[in-house]
A and B are shown apart, each in its own frame.
Chain A
């Protein structure tokens, strides 16, 4: 069963604007990760946030985590055409045998 659910499923914004994607999950997590997938390519890890962290930054990326609401958001500031891709959240539980579970993704399209 899917753990993370991204929202929206698709998003189109003008170049230069900020893009926000959300992820909700159901059970307690050890960490939550965001990945990007360009068309026809494999997923690329962007950022990881642990359950005891609330916010993390990496370049133009800002991730927040609210464990009380079981949700996370990914903000991409000053979007560029190259940011056009699908973005996936993925969750990892606390048990040693827990496997990373991916959501279905948000398709982001940056308009010129």
Chain B
């Protein structure tokens, strides 16, 4: 996992509540990514960061925001969770030769 951790690993929340997922890396990677994984859709990019305070949208960014105030931390926030955001969320960091190192994932259930 190249030193990438995610917290929490599991979360159950109610529709309309804000949720923040945290990704932490110890390898000083510049690029970091948030994906969601759903059956039939594979991995879809939500947001990514190319440096501290530098972020950009991915394929499915609506309803999500991110922040990166330190190299090691990349936060994903669901401002007002909806049932369609029930998913498994993966954080990744880009290593050498454009390969990606993934965290263990966060299972989020929005009731």
Answer yes or no: are A and B bound together in one complex: yes
CB of A72 to closest CB in B, whole Å: 16
Contacts of A40 in B (CB 8 A): 105
- Secondary structure of the B side of the interface? strand
Which of B11-19, B69-77, B78-86, B94-102 is the contact stretch? B94-102
18 examples of A-B residue contacts, CB within 8 angstroms: A30-B98, A33-B98, A33-B99, A35-B100, A41-B104, A42-B1, A42-B90, A42-B102, A43-B43, A45-B99, A48-B97, A99-B48, A100-B98, A102-B42, A102-B43, A103-B42, A104-B42, A105-B42
B residues lining the A interface (CB < 8 Å): 1, 4, 33, 35, 40-43, 45, 48, 58, 90, 92, 97-105
Q: A2-B42, A48-B99 are in contact. List 13 more A-B contacts (CB 8 A).
A: A31-B97, A42-B1, A42-B102, A42-B103, A42-B105, A43-B90, A45-B100, A45-B101, A48-B98, A99-B45, A99-B58, A100-B98, A104-B41
A residues lining the B interface (CB < 8 Å): 2, 30-31, 33, 35, 40-45, 48, 88, 90, 92, 99-105
